[in-house]
């Protein structure tokens, strides 16, 4: 798919989608669109991959530029291609090459799969001859500007609403995004444990890391030398004699931290420490390239978030499912009933003791406004219930109760013990306002199966019966012996001689009432069916909703009596029936 694209043309290539929309700041300084030959003597895609040569200008994409920086550093350090191999055309060694015709293709992982983005090589230049996009300080080198242009095209133009490095790095590399809120003292953030994890995994090449500041007052920002709500690339992490230090890079290529372990700190930078970290503060003072060291305590004080992206090659096994969750399926809020939420059975089939299982939910975004102001809060709920379908959100309680976040990505991590009990995964939203397209991907260090719950019921046979409790018919539960029999009564006829029929009954009533129902077997057409019963109930009375599944029952006649817990609770209700075979429902009282 990516190598079959045509790149040679008789005339310079012009993107048929037109020039990218400029940001307001770019428009103020814009002079003209230029091609590489207009400002380069010998254009080439890559001269040398370096994090230090990347420079952000006036496009508000600090997280993307920081992502480029750490990806470039990773390539150089571990000699593993991450971003240079996503630019086309390429030579026989898989290296991107300059195309005089001006057509390039970049592949990004977007909405659950690799996709190709076609761009031309026109770049915005100011009236004074400066590029108005990110670029490389290595003259003639184009990879930074071209990657940024391709990403900005996906995002609707250079007028970029902003992002975070989890999203950007996943698009660039497909590495698994994890967001860690830096909250010292909270139960969710173990400061020492997090540092040890980063120190170990970073130097093994298992992860890419950026950090981001939150809101800072103008005074605090100026005093600290930090930019509010800004992403910084993490280039190194060290521990030396109890000192925990991070090397960060501001994508602006200037403006550095002014606190402990800055280049002007003459107290902490002992000759011994300078040698251990190969750092010379005096030399650093001569040129501000935006790179600085900062201690872990200061980082935890001034920064809000760690964005970590993990190498998917850490997991031997992976699979994904893409699906659409219609806005019409189920209630707007799933606080009472999650039976209509997409559900999946996850079962470990290999030697799972100590296995790591990561579940990544990605909501597909196709609209710039949606990306800029994401109002959809998504999560994955994990139940350890034998891999059965879940109807009530908290019965049983979730094994992992995910926090609903307005990010395209949600990550849930499991560490498997010796148990072989399968999981049930449930996709959930805070409020379902629109149809949602998503990718559910599972990574694991042991073999597993991931399957969507099969539905034994035939949708075309579904029935919804409208009823009401009113006056005498609001008889309450069976504790009210005299009035209970006055509740509405419905009869279900399954006219066959099979013993493997499946029937599901759902009762929906006012949320302020606790509701339930009983089912009485009046007659069976087949004796000794596996699911035979005389009387069953929907279980505990619940606010506004309850459900009962009857499996492997005989054809026959069954009576259903819905009720509220308290007598005298007037109100409407719905009885919904789903069945694996033809049936008839009638009200007999």
Instruction: With CA atoms as reference, report the closest residue to 567 among 507, 486, 511, 506.
Output: 486
Averaged over 471-492, what is the pLDDT? 96
Residue 249's pLDDT is 95
Radius of gyration for the chain, computed over Cα atoms and rounded to the nearest angstrom? 30
For residue 209, the surrounding DSSP H or E stretch is strand 207-213
- Integer Cα distance of 383 and 387 in angstroms: 8
Q: What are the tokens at 92?
A: 């026989």
Residue 430's pLDDT is 79
pLDDT band at 3 (very low <50, low <70, confident <90, very high): low
Q: Among all residues, which ones are annotated catalytic?
A: 62, 230, 250
Residue 372's pLDDT is 64
**Do 20 and 157 contact (CB within 8 A), yes or no?**
yes
- Integer Cα distance of 477 and 500 in angstroms: 31
**Do 337 and 545 contact (CB within 8 A), yes or no?**
yes
Strand-pairing partners, residue 348, are: 448
Tally Cβ neighbours within 10 Å of residue 491: 16
**Do 572 and 510 contact (CB within 8 A), yes or no?**
yes
Using DSSP, state whether 193 is helix, strand or coil: helix
Averaged over 396-425, what is the pLDDT? 84
Averaged over 426-454, what is the pLDDT? 90
Residue 435's pLDDT is 87
> What percent of the chain has pLDDT above 70?
98
- Integer Cα distance of 358 and 206 in angstroms: 15
Residue 416's pLDDT is 73
- Integer Cα distance of 344 and 325 in angstroms: 13
Report whether pLDDT(431) > 90: no
pLDDT band at 227 (very low <50, low <70, confident <90, very high): very high
Q: What are the tokens at 51?
A: 């994090």
Q: For residues 416 and 166, which has the higher predicted lDDT (pLDDT)?
A: 166
Averaged over 283-290, what is the pLDDT? 92
Report whether pLDDT(39) > 60: yes
Tally Cβ neighbours within 10 Å of residue 84: 18
pLDDT band at 418 (very low <50, low <70, confident <90, very high): low
- Integer Cα distance of 431 and 216 in angstroms: 31
The 10s digit of each residue's pLDDT in 239-273 is 999 999 999 999 998 999 999 999 999 999 999 99
pLDDT band at 1 (very low <50, low <70, confident <90, very high): low
pTM for this one?
Answer: 0.89
Domain 176-309, CATH class in plain words: alpha beta
The 10s digit of each residue's pLDDT in 510-543 is 999 999 999 999 999 998 999 999 999 999 999 9
Tally Cβ neighbours within 10 Å of residue 432: 23
Residue 2's pLDDT is 61
Averaged over 384-413, what is the pLDDT? 87
The 10s digit of each residue's pLDDT in 326-383 is 888 877 777 778 888 999 999 988 766 778 999 999 999 887 776 666 677 889 999 9
What's the DSSP call for residue 287? Answer: -
Residue 99's pLDDT is 95
Residue 333's pLDDT is 74
User: What CATH number does domain 460-587 carry, 3.30.2130.30, 3.40.630.10, 3.40.50.10860, 2.60.120.380?
Assistant: 2.60.120.380
Instruction: With CA atoms as reference, report the closest residue to 386 among 350, 336, 421.
Output: 421
Report whether pLDDT(37) > 90: yes
Start and end residues for every CATH 3.90.70.10 domain found in the chain: 176-309
Q: What is the CATH number of domain 315-452?
A: 2.60.120.380
> What percent of the chain has pLDDT above 90?
77
Residue 112's pLDDT is 92
Tally Cβ neighbours within 10 Å of residue 38: 13
Question: To the nearest whole number, what is the mean pLDDT of the chain?
Answer: 92
Using DSSP, state whether 461 is helix, strand or coil: helix
Averaged over 54-80, what is the pLDDT? 92
**Do 237 and 229 contact (CB within 8 A), yes or no?**
no
The 10s digit of each residue's pLDDT in 132-180 is 999 999 989 999 999 999 999 999 999 988 888 999 999 999 999 999 9
Averaged over 15-23, what is the pLDDT? 95
Start and end residues for every CATH 2.60.120.380 domain found in the chain: 315-452, 460-587
């Amino acid at each position: 798919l990516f190598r079959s694209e045509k790149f040679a043309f008789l005339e310079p290539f012009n993107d048929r989608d037109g020039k990218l929309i400029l940001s307001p700041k770019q428009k103020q300084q814009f002079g003209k669109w230029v091609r590489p030959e207009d400002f380069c003597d010998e254009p080439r895609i890559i001269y040398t991959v370096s994090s230090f040569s990347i420079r952000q200008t006036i496009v508000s994409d600090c997280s993307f530029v920081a992502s480029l920086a750490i990806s470039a550093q990773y390539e150089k350090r571990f000699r593993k291609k991450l971003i240079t191999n996503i630019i086309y055309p390429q030579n026989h060694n898989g290296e991107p090459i300059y195309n005089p015709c001006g057509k390039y293709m970049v592949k990004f992982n977007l909405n659950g799969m690799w996709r190709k983005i076609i761009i031309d090589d026109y770049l915005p230049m100011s009236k004074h001859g400066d590029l108005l996009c990110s670029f490389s300080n290595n003259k003639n080198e184009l990879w930074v500007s071209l990657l940024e242009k391709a990403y900005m095209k996906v995002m609707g133009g250079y007028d970029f609403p902003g992002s975070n490095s989890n999203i950007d790095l996943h698009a660039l590399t497909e590495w698994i995004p994890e967001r860690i809120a830096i909250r010292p003292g909270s139960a969710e953030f173990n400061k020492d444990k997090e540092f040890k994890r980063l120190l170990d995994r970073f130097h093994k090449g298992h992860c890419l890391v950026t950090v981001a500041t939150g809101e800072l007052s103008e005074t605090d920002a100026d005093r600290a030398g930090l930019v509010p709500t800004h992403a910084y690339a993490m280039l190194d992490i060290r521990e030396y004699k109890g000192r925990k230090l991070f090397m960060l890079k501001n994508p602006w290529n200037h403006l550095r931290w002014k606190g402990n372990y800055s280049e002007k700190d003459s107290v902490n930078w002992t000759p011994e420490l300078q040698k251990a970290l190969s750092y010379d503060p005096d030399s650093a003072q001569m040129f501000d390239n935006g790179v600085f060291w900062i201690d872990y305590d200061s980082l935890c004080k001034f920064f809000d978030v760690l964005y970590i992206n993990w190498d998917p090659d850490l997991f031997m096994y992976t699979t994904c499912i893409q699906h659409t969750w219609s806005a019409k399926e189920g209630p707007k809020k799933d606080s009472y009933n999650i039976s209509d939420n997409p559900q999946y059975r996850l079962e470990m089939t290999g030697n799972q003791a100590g296995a790591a299982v990561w579940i990544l939910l990605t909501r597909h975004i196709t609209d710039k406004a949606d990306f800029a102001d994401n109002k959809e809060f998504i999560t994955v709920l994990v139940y350890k219930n034998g891999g059965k379908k879940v109807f009530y959100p908290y019965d049983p309680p979730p094994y992992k109760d995910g926090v609903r976040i307005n990010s395209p990505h949600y990550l849930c991590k499991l560490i498997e013990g010796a148990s072989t009990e399968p999981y049930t995964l449930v996709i959930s939203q805070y409020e379902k306002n629109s149809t949602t397209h998503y990718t559910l991907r599972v990574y694991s260090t042991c073999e597993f199966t991931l399957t969507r719950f099969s539905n034994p019921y035939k949708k075309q046979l579904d029935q919804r019966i409208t009823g009401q409790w009113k006056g005498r018919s609001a008889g309450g539960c069976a504790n009210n012996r005299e009035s209970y029999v006055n509740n509405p009564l419905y009869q279900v006829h399954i006219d066959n001689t099979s013993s493997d029929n499946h029937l599901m009954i759902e009762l929906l009533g006012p949320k302020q009432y606790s509701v339930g129902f009983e089912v009485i077997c009046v007659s069976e057409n087949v004796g000794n069916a596996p699911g035979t019963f005389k009387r069953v109930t929907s279980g505990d009375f619940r606010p506004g909703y309850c459900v009962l599944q009857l499996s492997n029952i005989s054809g026959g006649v069954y009576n259903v009596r819905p009720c509220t817990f308290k007598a005298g609770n007037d109100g409407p209700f719905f009885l919904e029936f789903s069945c694996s075979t033809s049936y008839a429902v009638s009200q007999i009282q």
